Amino acid sequence: MEDLTKDQKVLLALIDGFTTKSGERDRWVRHEALLILIYRLIKEGLFETYDVAPALLKWKRKVRFSKISQEGILDLGLLLSKNLVQRLELSTAFHNVIQAYRVVPEVHRVLEKNRDFQMLKERVMECFKCRRCGEVMGIKANGDEVLLLCPRCGYSEKVDFFNIGVVAYKSNPFFVET
């Protein structure tokens, strides 16, 4: 764990925070939800080197442009290769693949005893707490929009994950003389 960058530790804390809860077993965070959570932490300033760019994402049987962090995807691959995180892949009746992640249970038990990691995890989870009641909000797809929804009081916040906006640019033709 010492050889991980700060951003990789934040990503590990994010996955751990959304996949472990007292009294529950086998909680996983879906790939699409993880990308949305990463986006939220980028907006909150917790990732130092991550940014987002428009990229295609399959969402509810549609392909949509979304704000995806390639750095986050690469670091997720690194955490998988170091056996800190596990990936679950399921196939649906429509032949779609669902991917989900969780921290390896043995790694989670070690991280539970690491005070610095627990403080980092608290900072990460603070970004997802409901403004009204303090409960950690979850992701809810409402049609084509994404919400952070509080399970206790019903408060919700819209996440502009699919709103990529318009990038203004100017171009001039360039002709090569032959």
Give the pLDDT score at 23: 65
Residue 60 pLDDT more than 90? no
Contact (Cβ atoms closer than 8 angstroms) between residue 54 and residue 73:
no
How far, in Å, CA of 82 to CA of 117, rounded?
Answer: 17
Please name every residue paired with 129 in a beta bridge, in sequence order, or none if there are none: 136
Closest CA to 47 of 7, 5, 1, 13: 7
**16 has pLDDT over 70:** yes
What is the rounded average pLDDT of the residues 159-172? 83
CA torsion angle 31 37 39 41 (round to 10): -140
Instruction: Give residue 96's pLDDT.
Output: 84
Q: What is the mean pLDDT of the chain?
A: 92
Q: How far is CA 113 from CA 3, 106, 110, 117, 124, in A?
A: 18, 12, 6, 8, 17
- The residue extents of the domains of the chain are 6-128
For domain 6-128, give the CATH number.
Answer: 1.10.10
Q: Is residue 88 within 8 Å of 99, Cβ to Cβ?
A: yes
Q: Report pLDDT digits (tens) over 68-91.
A: 999 999 999 999 999 999 999 999
